[in-house]
C-alpha cells in the first residue's frame, strides 16, 4: 500500500507526463513506476486516451500543487461520504485533478488496500458494459437484429437501399427496398446503443432503451421522426424541408443543427450544441440558442444555460456526472449494464461530480462510486444493491 506522499508524487509524475514536462530524473522515476505493473501502464493509457483529460489540464497551469494536495488530503481522510465538486476542482492542484476528476480512479487505484470497501466476492462475478446492438423493424414487418457485423441490401432499382457497418445503419438516398409506405423503427435494448444515417444524411446516435420511428421516405414538406428515450442528432441542412422530432407531447423543429434529446423520465431535456431549434409545447413555440437547454416538465418549459458536454458525454463514451444524485447515477447504470437496482435505507441527498468511461465493467464503476460515497454496493447475478445504512 502506498502512502499519501507516494500517491502525491506518482500523481504529479503522471500529470507531468501528460503535459510532456518530465525532467530527466523524473522520466526515469516515471518509467520505473510504469514498468512495475501492467496495471500502471493501462491506467496511464486510459487517462491519455480520455477526451476530457486535456480539458482538465487546461485548469492547472498556475496552481499551487502543494496547497491543492493538502486540500484533497483533508477530504481523503474523511469517511467516504463526501462530494467532490467539479467547480471546486478547478482551483486544486494537478494532482487533485488527476486524483478526483479523471474518473474517481487514481487515488482509489494507488491506495486500494486503504480505501476499497467494495464487496471483494464481486470480483469473481462481473458484468460487461453495453455494446452496439439494436433491432430494426421495417414497414413491411420484417425484422433485423443489428450488431457490429456488416451487410448491404440492394433495392428494386439495383441501388443500395439499406446497410450496416461497424455499428452504423445506413439508408441509401435513391435505393428502395420495396414500395410499402409506413414507418421503420430502430430500437435499442438495455446495454445497447446504435448509430444511423438517414436517407437525407442526418446522423443519429441512439442511446440504450430508446426507439426512433421514421418513414421509409420523407415527404416533400418535412422530415419527421418520433423518439422515445435519448438520441443525439446532427441534422443535414435543408431549408426547404425542416427536420422535426416528436417526443412525449413536445416537438423540436430544425433546419440543420446538433442537439440532444433526453426523454426517459417525466421530465425531458433538449440540449442545443450548435445552430438553433424551435421547441413547441402545448402550442407555444420557443427558440433555443447554442449552450441552452429546455427542461420540459408537466407542460412547462424552462430554458437555461447548461454544460452541453453533460448531455452528450454518453455518445462520447463517458458517464459524466455533475452535481448528480446517486439515484440519477444508478439510473444510467441500470440502462447501460442491464441490471436491477435495489436500495437499502434512504438514499442520501449528496451530489456527485466526475466522469467514468462507459467501457468500464460494472464492478469497476461500483468501486469508483464506493470510493466517493457513503454507500456500499453489492452485485449478485444482475442485481445491484445500494446500501445507505452505514
pLDDT per position as a tens digit, 301-348 = 999 999 999 999 999 999 998 889 999 999 999 999 999 999 998 888
For the chain, the structural domain boundaries read 4-115, 131-311
User: Which tens digit of pLDDT belongs to each residue from 244-287?
Assistant: 999 999 999 998 899 999 999 889 999 999 999 999 998 899 99
pLDDT beyond 50 at 156: yes
- At the topology level of CATH, where does 131-311 sit? Jelly Rolls (2.60.120)
Average pLDDT over residues 28-37: 87
How far is Cα of residue 238 from the mean position of the Cα atoms in its chain?
29
Q: What is the pLDDT of residue 257?
A: 93
> Can you list the pairs that 10-15 forms with residues at least 24 positions away whose Cβ atoms lie under 8 Å?
10/110, 11/94, 11/95, 11/98, 11/99, 11/106, 11/107, 11/110, 12/65, 12/94, 12/95, 14/44, 14/47, 14/98, 14/106, 15/57, 15/60, 15/94, 15/95, 15/97, 15/98
Total residues belonging to the chain: 390
Prediction pTM value: 0.70
CA nearest neighbour of 245 among 225, 272, 265, 223: 225
Mean model confidence pLDDT for the chain: 78
Judge contact between 187 and 179, C-beta under 8 A: no
C-alpha span between 377 and 386 (Å, rounded): 5
Cell matching residue 115: 480505501
In this prediction, residue 298 carries a pLDDT of: 87
Is there a contact between 247 and 226 (Cβ–Cβ < 8 Å)? yes
Query: How many secondary structure helices (H) and strands (E) does the chain include?
Result: 12, 25
pLDDT at 210 over 90: yes
For 60, 70, 186, 322, 325, the CA distances from 92, given in Å and listed in that order, are 8, 9, 45, 17, 23
What pLDDT does residue 8 have?
62
Percentage of residues of the chain with pLDDT beyond 70: 73
| Lowest mean pLDDT segment, chosen from 81-85, 214-218, 246-250 | 81-85
C-alpha span between 140 and 172 (Å, rounded): 17
286 vs 349, more confident:
286
| Residue 82 confidence (pLDDT) above 80 | no
Residue 68 has a CB neighbour count (10 Å cut-off) of 21
- 90-94, 134-138, 212-216, range with the lowest pLDDT: 90-94
Between 155 and 64, name the one with better pLDDT: 155
pLDDT at 313: 94
Q: Judge whether residue 179 has pLDDT over 80.
A: no
For residue range 97-150, what is the model confidence (pLDDT) as tens digits? 444 434 334 444 444 433 444 444 444 588 999 999 999 998 888 899 998 888
pLDDT higher at 242 or 48: 242
User: Which residue has 440532444 as its cell numbers?
Assistant: 260
- 234 φ/ψ sector (left φ>0, alpha ψ -120 to 50, else beta): beta
Closest CA to 309 of 370, 353, 267: 353
Amino acid at each position: 500500500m502506498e502512502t499519501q506522499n507516494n500517491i502525491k508524487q506518482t500523481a504529479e509524475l503522471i500529470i507531468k507526463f501528460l503535459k510532456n514536462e518530465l525532467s530527466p530524473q523524473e522520466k526515469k522515476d516515471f518509467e520505473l513506476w510504469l514498468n512495475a505493473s501492467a496495471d500502471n501502464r493501462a491506467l496511464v493509457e486510459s487517462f491519455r486516451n480520455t477526451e476530457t483529460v486535456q480539458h482538465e489540464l487546461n485548469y492547472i497551469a498556475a496552481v499551487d500543487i502543494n496547497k491543492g494536495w493538502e486540500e484533497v488530503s483533508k477530504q481523503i481522510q474523511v469517511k467516504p461520504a463526501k462530494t467532490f465538486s467539479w467547480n471546486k476542482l478547478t482551483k486544486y492542484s494537478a494532482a487533485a485533478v488527476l486524483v478526483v476528476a479523471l474518473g474517481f480512479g487514481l487515488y482509489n487505484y494507488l491506495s486500494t488496500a486503504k480505501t476499497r470497501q467494495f464487496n471483494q466476492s464481486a470480483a469473481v462475478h462481473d458484468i460487461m458494459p453495453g455494446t452496439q446492438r439494436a433491432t430494426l423493424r421495417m414497414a413491411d414487418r420484417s425484422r433485423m437484429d443489428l450488431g457490429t457485423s456488416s451487410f448491404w441490401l440492394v433495392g428494386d432499382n439495383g441501388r443500395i437501399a439499406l446497410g450496416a457497418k461497424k455499428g452504423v445503419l445506413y439508408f441509401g438516398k435513391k435505393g428502395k427496398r420495396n414500395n410499402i409506405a409506413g414507418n421503420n423503427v430502430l430500437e435499442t435494448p438495455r446495454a445497447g446503443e446504435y448509430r444511423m444515417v438517414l436517407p437525407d444524411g442526418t446522423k443519429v446516435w441512439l442511446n440504450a432503451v430508446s426507439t426512433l420511428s421514421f418513414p421509409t421516405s420523407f415527404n416533400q414538406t418535412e422530415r419527421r421522426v418520433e423518439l422515445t428515450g435519448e438520441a443525439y442528432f446532427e441534422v443535414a441542412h435543408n431549408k426547404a424541408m425542416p427536420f422535426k422530432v416528436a417526443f412525449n407531447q413536445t416537438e423540436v423543429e430544425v433546419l440543420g443543427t446538433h442537439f440532444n434529446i433526453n426523454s426517459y423520465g417525466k421530465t425531458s431535456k433538449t440540449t442545443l450544441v450548435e445552430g438553433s431549434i424551435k421547441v413547441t409545447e402545448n402550442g407555444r413555440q420557443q427558440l433555443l440558442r447554442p449552450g441552452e437547454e429546455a427542461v420540459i416538465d408537466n407542460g412547462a418549459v424552462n430554458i437555461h444555460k447548461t454544460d452541453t458536454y453533460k448531455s452528450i458525454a454518453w455518445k462520447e463514451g463517458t458517464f459524466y456526472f455533475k452535481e448528480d444524485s446517486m439515484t440519477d447515477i444508478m439510473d444510467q447504470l441500470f440502462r447501460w449494464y442491464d441490471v436491477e437496482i435495489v436500495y437499502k435505507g434512504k438514499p442520501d441527498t449528496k451530489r456527485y461530480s466526475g466522469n467514468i468511461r462507459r467501457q468500464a465493467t460494472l464492478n469497476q464503476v461500483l468501486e469508483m462510486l464506493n470510493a466517493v460515497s457513503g454507500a456500499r454496493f453489492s452485485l449478485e447475478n444482475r442485481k445491484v444493491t445500494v446500501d445507505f445504512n452505514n
